[in-house]
Amino acid sequence: MKRMGRYLRSGQVLAGLFIVGSFVVVAILAPQLAPPDDPDNPSRTRVVGKYYDPMPRPPTEEVLLGTAPGQLDIYYSLVWGARSVLAFGLAVTVSTALFGILVGALSGYVGGAIHGLIMRVTDAFLAFPVIAGVWLLQQVLMPASPYADLNPVQQAFFDLGLDPVLLTLILFSWMPYARLTSANVVQLKRTEYVEAARSIGVRRRRIIGRHLLPNALPPVIVLGARDVGAMVILATAFTFIGLGASTEWGQLLVVSRDYIIGSGGNPLTYWWVFVPTTLALIFFGVGWNLLGDGLNTVLDPRVAR
């Protein structure tokens, strides 16, 4: 309780909670904040003018943050995009953390040659560039053209509604969790209470679940909190360079890229096409990082002291 009180009294932590909580509230209240044209089947983007108009239009009373090229309502996309970025960041982080924790815990507890083999495989995945993984999965899972016939793998991919960028980040982001969990388990399994449990015949599964994981997870939880924002920013970067379209925020930056620098080299000519989206991404990443730092204070007794 003392640690939690210190956690909640920290201005840094309160700022993180406020920022992340604000995004959660916006995501929940999206139908009220930006009413869709079809409430039963809401779209995450909305065109408010002539879709073939390539010029972004400035903010007005009807369009609070202006429009992007193609007359996409920026305010509407930011509000509804909060849902997709939260879902994307949490889906990637939870999936990678669970898999990495499982691999790391088993590897660290078993030890020996198996531990060495698993860690070498983990290092191989760490050495593989994520951007190359995105490109590779797109080549395998996406058809060469919109009119090409789908092979069985591609058909299954589309039937499941999977996102190549999300799948790639899951495949190539579990390694830090595995290495961190493995290192903690290797250290913890030499402690006296684990040796005592083993000596009285406690099963391996119970030792891992009852004694090792609860003590090995705090730094992993901190890493996961920071990764939620990092994964969204990374996915947006991939969207910006043309590798996938995972979030509405990334798509806004893509369609507006030609207007980031206005006439005469003035970046403020069409400020509304990139400033609101960029600030949303910055605050989203900063909020989760502040939460992660706060969790580190609560969960790490050395930091608490």
CATH code for the domain of 204: 1.10.3720
- Determine, yes or no, domain membership for 96: yes
Most confident range (mean pLDDT) of 23-27, 33-37, 60-64 is: 23-27
Count of other CB atoms within 10 angstroms of residue 37: 10
| Cα–Cα distance, 235 to 218 (Å, whole number) | 26
Distances (CA, A) of 179 to 89, 104, 108, 206, 209: 21, 6, 9, 21, 18
pLDDT beyond 80 at 47: yes
Q: Cα–Cα distance between 210 and 265 in angstroms, integer? A: 61
| Residue 191 Ramachandran class (φ > 0 left, ψ -120 to 50 alpha, else beta) | beta
CB 278 within 8 A of CB 75: no
Phi/psi for 83 (5° steps) reads -65, -45
Q: Which of the residue ranges 46-60, 129-143, 233-247 would you say has the lowest mean pLDDT? A: 129-143
Residue 81 near residue 284 (C-beta atoms within 8 A): no
Q: State the maximum Cα–Cα separation within the chain, in Å, rounded to a whole number.
A: 78
- Classify strands 72-73 and 67-68 as parallel, antiparallel or unpaired: antiparallel
Q: Of the spans 20-29, 156-165, 168-177, which averages the highest pLDDT?
A: 20-29
Rounded to 5, what percent of the chain is helix, strand, coil?
Answer: 70, 0, 30
d(CA 246, CA 162): 10
C-alpha to C-alpha distance for 76 and 234, rounded to whole angstroms? 22
For residue 226, is pLDDT > 80? Answer: yes
Is residue 134, in this structure, part of any structural domain at all? no
Q: Nearest-5° angle of CA 55, CA 72, CA 266?
A: 40
Whether residue 133 lies inside any domain: the answer is: no
Distance in angstroms (rounded) separating the CA atoms of residues 147 and 216: 50
pLDDT digits 0-9 by tens, 113-146:
888 899 999 988 888 888 888 887 777 766 655 5
Number of domains comprising the chain: 1
Contact 7, 298 (CB under 8 A): yes
Domain annotation covers residue 155: no
- 113 domain residue, yes or no: yes
Task: Quickly count: other Cβ atoms within 10 Å of residue 39's Cβ.
Answer: 8
Tell me: pLDDT of 90 over 60. yes
Beta strands (DSSP E) in the chain are: 67-68, 72-73
First CA to last CA distance, the chain: 14
Within a domain: 145: no
Q: Could you report the per-residue pLDDT of 181-219, keeping only the tens digit for each?
A: 888 888 887 777 777 777 777 777 777 777 777 777 788
- Specify if 161 maps to a domain: no
Structural domain containing residue 278: 2-128+172-304
* Token representation of residue 68: 């992007």
Cβ(47)–Cβ(70) below 8 Å: yes
Query: Is 164 among the domain residues?
Result: no
| pTM (two decimals) | 0.83
Q: At what angle do helices 11-28 and 275-299 cross, to 10 degrees?
A: 130
CA distance 273 to 268: 10
**What gap in Å lies between CA 256 and CA 269, rounded to an integer?**
12
